[in-house]
């Protein structure tokens, strides 16, 4: 082949290549570019057999998933034994818990000590009675959590020694002074400096700063301020619903991974600003599971299992008993994907904690993208079903879809 022929062949090949590339570009211009931002909804599920034993070896094809009754494709699936966990320990310190608090405190530390993996997990401690107080912010330090649990006392015991600016000294080195103890939620002072989360003092803050929901005083009318138990609050209040709302909204909202509140209480609420429905909704919005542990002292209610009438102080509704609290905890646990437990002679607090520990270490994570993208913020029901009819699935009831 002569040199001219080689040059001609190369030239023809170059022209052909140029024409082909040009044609591809023109064809690409005819195809519209679509940008898709798919919202993935994750649902944590625990599966049990008919004897209540946790099943650990299922795969994606063993489940069906529905949203508002419509089948959804399970796009993502994994077993959640290593996903980071944030635990909130919520302890009722109202007077009705006086005979069980010591056992709660001991078992709670044992649970946290065994459950938390410092390199992955973290926890915080809140106690509530007529106020809601953060004893320990989110941490992976077991020593700090133990110290916080050691600070838990009954409301009337705290009243005697944590009077804050209403009679305590202002010495910052005095653990009982107003400058270190501040006021609890809802009344002034506190954590980490002047109301939780902002304003003067070390801990025990008014939430969110000088009294909740507005101004420097106690709940619900304001006034007071500074002192831990001063201003507007009642010694007979138990702000159960408020504690769940605030823990979900302020502590859990910005956390990643799995999130769970361990709630130690008799389930009785007196005086909360937020309703039970609002507290549940906030837990659902922040993907927080609630594990309700009913630990009640019947002698605190005159040995009665039901409501017993009367009032919990000025402005508070009729008091309820442990039977009413059981229904509350059952609903909270069910609707958030957690589980309800009751301490009894047959099942101790240690046994219950062992069950929760096993459950949190053996969960399935099912992810789906809705076939109906939301146009407005709305609540959608979710149902996870095991194809084996002998198995029961525990998962949250739904989620809040955002456009």
**Domain spans of the chain?**
41-81+362-401, 85-162+229-360, 163-228
Q: Kindly report the backbone phi and psi dihedral angles of residue 101, in degrees, each rounded to the nearest multiple of 5, phi listed first.
A: -65, -40
pLDDT of the chain along its 403 residues, tens only? 666 666 566 666 666 666 565 655 544 444 433 334 458 899 999 999 999 999 999 999 999 999 999 999 999 999 877 788 999 999 999 887 878 888 888 899 999 999 999 889 999 999 999 999 999 999 999 999 999 999 887 554 544 333 233 333 334 344 333 333 334 444 433 333 333 443 333 333 344 433 343 333 333 333 333 333 322 334 457 999 999 999 999 999 999 989 999 999 999 999 999 999 999 999 999 999 999 999 876 665 554 443 333 333 333 344 455 558 899 999 999 999 999 999 999 999 999 999 999 999 999 999 999 999 888 889 999 999 999 999 999 999 999 998 8
Tokens 């609540």 identify what position? 379
β 378-386/398-401 pair status: antiparallel
Lookup: tokens for 364:
């399935």
Distance CA 364, CA 44 (A): 6
- Where do the DSSP E strands lie in 105-149? 122-128, 132-139
Residues making up the chain, counted from first to last: 403
- Which CATH code of 3.40.50.1580, 1.20.1640.10, 3.40.50.410, 3.90.550.10 fits the domain covering 85-162+229-360? 3.40.50.410
* Confidence at residue 171, expressed as pLDDT on a 0 to 100 scale: 41
d(CA 384, CA 393): 7
Q: Which helix (H) or strand (E) holds 181?
A: helix 178-181
Lookup: tokens for 205: 């803050």
Output the pLDDT for position 20.
60
CA-nearest of 120, 217, 123, 227 to 176 is: 227
The Cα–Cα gap between 358 and 353 comes to 9
Q: How far apart are CA 188 and CA 226, in angstroms?
A: 5
CB 14 within 8 Å of CB 22? no
- DSSP letter, residue 176: T
Strand partners, 260: 87, 289
Residue 296: which of 275, 337, 324, 318 has the closest Cα?
324
First-residue to last-residue Cα distance in the chain: 68
Question: Would you say 328 and 276 are in contact if contact means Cβ atoms under 8 Å apart?
Answer: yes
Going across the sheet that includes 76-80, the strands are 76-80, 363-368, 41-48, 392-395
Tokens (6 digits) for 216:
């420097």
String of b and e for 68-80 (b: at least 16 CB within 10 Å)? eeeebebeebeeb
Residue 220's alpha-carbon distances to 76, 84, 245, 272, in angstroms, are 46, 37, 16, 9
Three-state secondary-structure class, residue 103:
helix
Taking the complete model, does pTM exceed 0.75, yes or no? no
Distance of CA 225 to the CA centre of its chain: 28
């Amino acid at each position: 082949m002569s040199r001219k022929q080689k040059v001609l062949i190369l030239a023809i090949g170059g022209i052909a290549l140029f024409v082909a590339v040009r044609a591809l570009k023109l064809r690409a211009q005819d195809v519209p570019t679509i940008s898709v931002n798919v919202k993935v909804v994750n649902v944590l599920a625990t599966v049990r057999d008919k004897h209540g034993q946790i099943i650990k070896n299922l795969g994606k094809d063993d489940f069906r998933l529905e949203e508002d009754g419509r089948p959804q494709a399970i796009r993502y699936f994994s077993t959640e034994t290593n996903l980071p966990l944030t635990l909130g320990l919520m302890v009722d310190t109202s007077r009705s818990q006086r005979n069980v608090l010591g056992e709660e405190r001991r078992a709670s530390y044992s649970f946290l000590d065994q459950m938390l993996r410092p390199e992955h997990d973290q926890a915080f401690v809140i106690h509530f009675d007529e106020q809601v107080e953060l004893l320990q912010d989110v941490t992976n330090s077991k020593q700090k959590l133990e110290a916080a649990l050691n600070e838990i006392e009954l409301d009337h015991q705290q009243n005697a020694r944590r009077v804050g600016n209403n009679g305590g000294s202002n010495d910052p080195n005095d653990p009982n002074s107003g400058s270190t103890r501040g006021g609890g939620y809802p009344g002034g002072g506190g954590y980490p400096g002047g109301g939780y989360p902002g304003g003067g003092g070390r801990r025990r803050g008014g939430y969110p700063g000088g009294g909740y929901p507005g101004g420097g005083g106690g709940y619900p009318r304001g006034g007071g301020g500074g002192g831990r138990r001063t201003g507007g609050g009642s010694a007979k209040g138990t702000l159960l619903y408020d504690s769940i709302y605030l823990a979900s909204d302020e502590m859990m909202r910005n956390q990643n991974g799995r999130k769970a509140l361990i709630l130690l209480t008799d389930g009785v609420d007196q005086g909360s600003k937020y309703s039970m429905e609002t507290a549940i909704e906030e837990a659902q919005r922040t993907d927080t599971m609630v594990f309700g542990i009913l630990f009640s002292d019947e002698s605190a209610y005159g040995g009665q299992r039901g409501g017993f009438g009367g009032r919990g102080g000025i402005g508070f509704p009729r008091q309820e008993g442990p039977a009413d609290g059981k229904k509350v905890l059952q609903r909270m646990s069910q609707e958030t994907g957690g589980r309800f437990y009751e301490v009894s002679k047959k099942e101790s607090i240690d046994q219950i904690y062992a069950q929760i520990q096993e459950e949190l270490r053996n969960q399935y994570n099912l992810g789906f993208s809705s076939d109906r993208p939301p146009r407005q913020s709305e609540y959608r029901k979710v149902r996870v079903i095991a194809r084996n009819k002998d198995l029961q699935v525990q998962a949250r009831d739904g989620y809040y879809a955002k456009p």
